[in-house]
A and B are shown apart, each in its own frame.
Chain A
Amino acid sequence: MDTFIQSIVSGILTGSLYAMIGVGLTVIFGVMRIINMAHGDMVMLGMYGAFLAPTFLRIDPFLSIVIWIPIAFIVGVLLYRFLLKNIVPAGELNTLLYTAGLSLFIANLVLLIGTGDYRTIKLKYAIMPLRPFGIAVPIPLAIAFGMAILITVALYWFLVRTDTGRAIRATSQEPEAAALMGVNVDRMAIITFALGTALACGAGVLLAPSLYLYPTVGEILVAKCFVIVVLGGLGSVPGAIAGGLLLGLVESLGAVYVSVPYKDAIGFVIFLLVLLFRPSGLFGVGKS
């Protein structure tokens, strides 16, 4: 029973970060129909940002998120404005290939500048895990969990309550109708892409102390992102949150009750089953 509760807890902790990455990917897809293969590399850049923070900025890796999120937002604006904007009209497959090129470019640039070594971030205050009710909770994951929830709630509030958020959701549902209602669809696209990039980068900062970082970590992460967003239905924000938590749970329960080596495969098997039998996502809210 203890192992069960333990794996549920760690599943939810990791799942919250998966959800944050997935939300970024899903809003980008919803508004622009971009399947962003470079999303995982944005997470990777965030991880390196956190890694560099103590040396270059002299601040705690987690605190550096307040610097990296705005920077990632600006990078997102520039990427969309100068690179992706002209590609999007050429169709989903061309954008897929283009962002795959972008992904390879970013990962190899990091490989060239730094090295391919595996790195970890050591936090002085996080050596021993917390033990509330006898369940081990690693401190870095607990902090990341708290911040991920804060950011996701803030984003949700933004999308539901503000005018810009409403305009983004309208564009996602029906771009032409939104344009006719006076929504500046182009601007919404820029904002959404920048938001998605910022979320990915922020999630990277939060994930960094709990994972190994290396330049091609994005490859694996982007594959997981797709599992998450397809589980919840492509384009659906609540779906991506649920999908992220679900993948976290599946992985941690799978590691305990199925097998550790195959824990990553379970997610992909579920992904294939969902794609084949429920293409609009488990909760039937997304668009296929």
Chain B
Amino acid sequence: MKKVVIPLAIILLMTAPWIVSGPFFVHLMIMVLMWTVLGASWNILGGFTGQVSFGHSTFLGAGAYTTMILYLNLGVAPWYGIPIGGLVAALIALPIGFICFRLRGPYFALSTLAVAEIIRLVALNWESLTNGPVGLLITTLPEVTFWGRSIDWESKTPFYYIIAVIALAAIVATYIMSRTRLGAYLLAIREDIDSAEAIGINTVQARVAALSLSAFFAGVAGGFYAMYLRYIDPDAVFSIALSVEMVFIAVVGGLTTVAGPLIGAIVLVTFGETFRELFLVGHLIFYGLMMMIVIRYLPEGIWGKLRLWFGTRP
């Protein structure tokens, strides 16, 4: 079954803009895929390693600001800027990891919340670098030709393909990671950190590695976010609400599964964005509700449950 489903899903992913049309649907699919990347990023740490972070917006924001500042100040094109943004986020994750991983469970979660707030305040007040609360704005993206045709940045389709590739990379990376030695270490840490330590796993190093990988994808998604919306400010990219949304997508989709974040993003973002179109505010109400239902009745998440029914591996 898997041999059919995966190629089919990839073909569907690549042809989707031709199947459905209308700017809202393309926008919706872009948001779904962007949140898939963010959910997958959080899942690497929160799902596979069992470390609940409430501060992942730090990495999203770091990626977004890096890409934006490189483009505005040094003229570095976004396709270099976005991966560099990911790398900067991964670098920032190192000191944060070495500090916060001295704590466990809920205390780790609270410490990431504090770090994220500190970084948000720094971004808000370091005006020479970030332009403070006014934010950064780009008006034009550089001219690119692709197979002899120049890309039209006013249409949403090019953005769709960029984020589709990033989302695919995030899912593949999760899959590969889950098959490596590191993946096994992380699962051992999630199940019982003391036993993991006792059998000789360097738990701090393994967790920091997971955090960096996770931060890389959050940073890449952040860079994409900046280029797609063309405007960022500290409250938009460093907010606690963004971190919480990532948690919800990963948990609702199914922790420790490869496809969970995609399912979580499809369910939550589709509803959220449609709700936003209709009522403008309060689109996160469904996120909160789904979270409560999932924790209460479906702790393995939507995809986790479906997977049990189909009896397939992740």
Among B52, B117, B282, the residue within 8 A (CB) of A111 is B282
A164 within 8 A of B: no
* Nearest CB on B from A248, distance (A): 18
A96 within 8 A of B: yes
- Residue numbers in B under 8 Å from A227 (CB-CB): 114
Q: Which residues between 256 and 292 of chain B lie within 8 Å of chain A, taking CB atoms? A: 279, 281-285, 287-292
- Residue numbers in A under 8 Å from B290 (CB-CB): 101
B283 A275 Cβ-Cβ under 8 A? no
* A104–B283 alpha-carbon span in the complex (Å): 10
A108 within 8 A of B: yes
- Residue numbers in A under 8 Å from B282 (CB-CB): 108-109, 111-112
* Nearest CB on B from A113, distance (A): 9
B125 A104 Cβ-Cβ under 8 A? no
B106 A219 Cβ-Cβ under 8 A? no
- Residue numbers in B under 8 Å from A86 (CB-CB): 296
* A36–B152 alpha-carbon span in the complex (Å): 48
- Residue numbers in B under 8 Å from A108 (CB-CB): 281-285, 288
Among A94, A106, A265, the residue within 8 A (CB) of B295 is A94
- Residue numbers in B under 8 Å from A96 (CB-CB): 52, 106, 109
* A249–B224 alpha-carbon span in the complex (Å): 41
B212 within 8 A of A: no
B241 A216 Cβ-Cβ under 8 A? yes
B129 within 8 A of A: no
* A268–B115 alpha-carbon span in the complex (Å): 7
Q: Which residues between 92 and 139 of chain A lie within 8 Å of chain B, taking CB atoms? A: 92-94, 96-98, 100-109, 111-112, 115-116
A226 within 8 A of B: yes
- Residue numbers in B under 8 Å from A230 (CB-CB): 110
A1 within 8 A of B: no
Give how many B residues have a beta carbon under 8 Å from the other chain's beta carbons. 41
A100 B106 Cβ-Cβ under 8 A? no
B117 A264 Cβ-Cβ under 8 A? yes
* Nearest CB on A from B170, distance (A): 22
- Residue numbers in A under 8 Å from B299 (CB-CB): 90, 94
- Residue numbers in B under 8 Å from A106 (CB-CB): 288
* Nearest CB on B from A88, distance (A): 12
A83 within 8 A of B: yes
B285 A93 Cβ-Cβ under 8 A? no
- Residue numbers in A under 8 Å from B107 (CB-CB): 275, 279, 288
A226 B295 Cβ-Cβ under 8 A? no
B251 within 8 A of A: yes
B238 within 8 A of A: no
A271 within 8 A of B: yes
How many A-B pairs have beta carbons closer than 8 Å: the answer is 125
* Nearest CB on A from B286, distance (A): 8
- Residue numbers in B under 8 Å from A97 (CB-CB): 52, 247, 251, 291, 295
* Nearest CB on A from B9, distance (A): 28
Residue interface bits B48-60, CB-to-A below 8 A is 1, else 0: 0000101000000
* A103–B107 alpha-carbon span in the complex (Å): 19
B99 A276 Cβ-Cβ under 8 A? yes
- Which residue in chain A gives the minimum CB-CB distance to B102? A276
Residue interface bits B291-314, CB-to-A below 8 A is 1, else 0: 110011001000000000000000
* Nearest CB on A from B304, distance (A): 14
- Which residue in chain A gives the minimum CB-CB distance to B282? A112
B248 within 8 A of A: yes
A101 B288 Cβ-Cβ under 8 A? yes
- Residue numbers in A under 8 Å from B284 (CB-CB): 104, 107-108
A226 B99 Cβ-Cβ under 8 A? no
B244 within 8 A of A: yes
- Residue numbers in A under 8 Å from B291 (CB-CB): 97-98, 100-101, 104
* A101–B299 alpha-carbon span in the complex (Å): 14
- Which residue in chain B gives the minimum CB-CB distance to A34? B106
- Which residue in chain A gives the minimum CB-CB distance to B117? A268
* Nearest CB on A from B57, distance (A): 12
* A106–B287 alpha-carbon span in the complex (Å): 11
* Nearest CB on B from A162, distance (A): 30
* A90–B281 alpha-carbon span in the complex (Å): 32
* A83–B248 alpha-carbon span in the complex (Å): 18
* A38–B285 alpha-carbon span in the complex (Å): 14
* Nearest CB on B from A203, distance (A): 20
- Which residue in chain A gives the minimum CB-CB distance to B54? A100
B105 within 8 A of A: yes
* A216–B235 alpha-carbon span in the complex (Å): 13
B285 A105 Cβ-Cβ under 8 A? yes
Residues of B bordering A, CB below 8 Å: 52, 54, 99, 102-103, 105-107, 109-111, 113-115, 117-118, 121-122, 124-125, 240-241, 244, 247-248, 251, 279, 281-285, 287-292, 295-296, 299
Sorted from nearest, which 4 A-B pairs have the closest CB atoms? A101-B291, A105-B288, A104-B288, A112-B282
Instruction: List 21 interface pairs A-B (beta carbons < 8 Å), by A numbering.
Output: A83-B292, A87-B295, A90-B299, A93-B106, A96-B52, A97-B247, A97-B295, A98-B295, A100-B244, A101-B248, A101-B292, A105-B288, A107-B288, A108-B285, A111-B281, A227-B114, A230-B110, A261-B121, A261-B125, A262-B121, A268-B114
